[in-house]
Amino acid sequence: MTTSEGSSISKYAAVYVALLVIMGAQFLIGYQNISGGQLVTRFFTFAVIETILVVLFFMNLGSEKPLFIKFVVYFTLFVLACMNYPWTDSFRLLVFRLTGFSPS
């Protein structure tokens, strides 16, 4: 094995260990008795870090052409952002169900 091949496997191993640590932290948080909002915030933060690590290093997007990276990132983020329009409606439904109010 050449030095560069060995170093790239070391890089993958380091990312693997980092992902294991992050997942371990998520499991620890899962067992804690904290509010839903805090859980979502922490899990989302960890998920973003995991995504960056996996996409850049494991899927090797970081070694592609900058134009292609921009295309993938911008397009995917735009679509994901567009999917988040119904949250206000879910909170409205929650309030209706908690208060027993039914809009006529």
Partner 1 sequence: MSEAHLTMGAHSAAPMEAPPFAIPSKKLAMWLFIMSDVMTFAACVVAYAFARNASPDWPRPFHSVTSVAVMTVIMLTSALTMLIALKAAKMSDKAGCFRWMMITAAAGALFTILHIRDWMNMMNQGVGLFQNPWGPAAFGAAFYTITGFSLLHISVGTLAVIVVAIRYQGGRYNADDIEIVSIFWQFIGLVWLFIVPVVYLMNMAR
Min separation Cβ 44 and partner 1, Å: 8
Within positions 21 to 60, which residues make up the interface with partner 1, using CB under 8 A? Answer: 23, 26-27, 29-31, 33, 36, 39-40, 43, 46-47, 50-51, 54-55, 58-60
Q: Examine residue 76 and tell whether it contacts partner 1 (CB under 8 A).
A: yes
Secondary structure letter of residue 32 according to DSSP? S
H or E stretch covering 84: none
Min separation Cβ 32 and partner 1, Å: 8
H or E stretch covering 62: none
Distances in whole angstroms, Cα of residue 71 to Cα of each of 14, 56, 64, 75: 28, 14, 11, 6
Q: Examine residue 93 and tell whether it contacts partner 1 (CB under 8 A).
A: yes
